[in-house]
Amino acid sequence: MPVPPSDAPDLPNAKFFYEFNDISEACNLKTSQSPSGRSHCVCLRGNPLSITIAPSTPTELPLVSMPSRHQASVAKKDLHRPVYIGDSQGLRETLPTLKTTVSGQEPMKNFETLPPLPAHGQPLMFADLFAGCGGLSLGLSLAGLNGVFAVERDKMAFSTLSANLLEGRDVPVPQFEWPSWLERKAWGIDDILEQHPLDLSRLKGKVHVLAGGPPCQGFSFAGKRLESDPRNQLFEKYVEMVKAIQPAAIVLENVPGMKVAHKAKSWKEEFGLTKVKPHSYYDKLVESLNSVGYEVLGKIVDCSLFGVPQKRPRLIVIGIHKDLAGHLRGGANRAFELLEEARLNQLQELGLPEVVSASEAISDLEIKHVGTRPCTDPSSRTGFLELAYKGPRTHYQTLMHQGSDGSMDSVRLAKHKPEISERFMRIIQDPECVRGGLMSLAQREKYGLKKHRICLMHEKNPAPTITTLPDDVLHYSEPRILTVRESARLQSFPDWFQFRGKFTTGGKQRTKECPRYTQVGNAVPPYLARAIGQAIKLVLKEAMATANQQTITEPEQEILAIA
């Protein structure tokens, strides 16, 4: 095919000429053109796939003269850039990049620059950004992925992650394969991007999945939803990390509010005088990730459908490298189809019903069953009591207790004043108080509650959303708030998972520290993350299998356009 010298700026003329010569010689076609001379076109006489693009006289090669087996396959060369073909004044076209091996026996494949994935039998490797205490990391590890590193700025939260996934404990999941160049400490994502750009770039092909959940307080409907909240900008750092590492797949978890635009409508929008739609941070995220090579889709899922005993709607964003997404039926949406398959498989594998109730999750932690004793947790102040655990009572509790040595931490009980406990008991016994939902203004006024958000649990239903504030939720049968361990159970953290740091904090420190209640409330439920990890494994396997199966097998299609 003719390639005028002036029309192929991305491919040196001499290089193209010699590559063209390789094909010609292998096909017994003689040519005496030099790199600077007029270009030739080759076609097969009688082959319907042979075409001539550009006004030039083709050299015909009889179909019978083709060798039964290619004598010298074209050497692998850098042919990844599109080549423009046509004459210097007329037609230009762009052909897909192809690597061609002529053969009468072997199928021909359409090779693309696909993200490197591990060899057969080797696990996918992931990194976790904004990792918190490690809920997302734990779930991906339970799904069979291996962690490389995790980024978390808060020292308490990172200490918890480290205790479970970095320090070599005998636990049912693999420990992180932490890189030698990265100090094992609490890092801010901006610090790593600034101090280790070259090290991060060397992780290309070694980190296959990049996960993360940027802080959600600026998006959350439970908060003030300030557009100026600096935490709202952290997803941009996530995108920078994606660009640096270029994984095969990305996963991002956040609150549904990320999909809602913060910007108030202008008067023009109020009167329908403009069709410009305000952008949410989700919209901005999709645009940013699309610009760095990913097909992205986000959907809101209910965690309670994944075996998590908690009504917790979350926005799950999955991105697939475009070179892989092109081989998936439905693109990134295929990941959510496989997530549904993974959800059903997970319930079956774990032997869980469609819905796990609050009492099925934490009835073995009721005071009336286990009793109390003085708190022995080294991070607790004196004067507190803790639950004296005796063992699981339901199937879900048995699952949570697997891998534990019989004990667990974070079972310290809140120290309520007598009048507070009495008020809570009246609420529990009041038939007019709605269970499982937020108390109404009238109910809060009736009991002198100043908090605008307080919920009495329903023992037969999944718990309400566990937040970072321990007094948001009241126990369904005992006049108290939940322990950290009970909150963790409702998030699907196993009992062997240790929590470190303070139990609570207050005042000005609330925005600076991440104590245990906050760690649990901010976490991605591990059972949700486990299903996501299974879906990512399936979607990458399917994309690669489809890419490898896209072959041309008919004899009359043995010659492809060389560009």
Tens digit of pLDDT for each residue in 50-94?
A: 343 444 444 444 444 444 444 444 443 343 333 223 333 333 333
What domains sit in the chain, N to C, each tagged with a CATH number? 1-106 (no CATH), 125-354+524-546 (3.40.50.150), 416-482 (no CATH)
Cβ(386)–Cβ(374) below 8 Å: yes
Residue 505 has pLDDT above 60, yes or no: yes
Cβ(397)–Cβ(361) below 8 Å: yes
Which stretch of 142-146, 472-476, 512-516 has the lowest confidence by average pLDDT?
A: 512-516
Token pair of 556, please? 């009359």
User: Could you tell me which residues are beta bridge partners of residue 90?
Assistant: none
Q: How far is Cα 532 from Cα 536, in angstroms, rounded to an integer?
A: 6
Q: How far is Cα 147 from Cα 123, in angstroms, rounded to an integer?
A: 10
Q: What is the mean pLDDT of residues 232-236?
A: 69
Which stretch of 64-78, 135-149, 307-321, 348-362 has the lowest confidence by average pLDDT?
A: 64-78
Token pair of 270, please? 């109020």
Task: Give the pLDDT band (50/70/90) at residue 255.
Answer: confident
Token pair of 106, please? 């072997």
Residue type for 533, please?
Answer: G
Q: How far is Cα 326 from Cα 477, in angstroms, rounded to an integer?
A: 53
Cβ(98)–Cβ(131) below 8 Å: no
Helices 155-165 + 135-142 axis angle, to 10? 20
Task: Give the pLDDT band (50/70/90) at residue 557.
Answer: low
Q: What is the mean pLDDT of residues 252-265?
A: 69
Q: What is the mean pLDDT of residues 529-545?
A: 96
138 Cβ neighbours under 8 A, 6+ residues apart:
164, 165, 173, 493, 497, 526, 529
Nearest CA-CA partner of 213 in 562, 551, 528, 544: 528
Given the residues 133, 216, 303, 375, select the one marked as catalytic.
216
216 in catalytic set: yes
pTM of the model: 0.75
Nearest CA-CA partner of 407 in 383, 394, 395, 391: 391
User: Residue 216: its pLDDT value, please?
Assistant: 52
Which stretch of 100-114, 173-187, 459-473, 539-553 has the lowest confidence by average pLDDT?
A: 100-114
Residue 105 has pLDDT above 70, yes or no: no
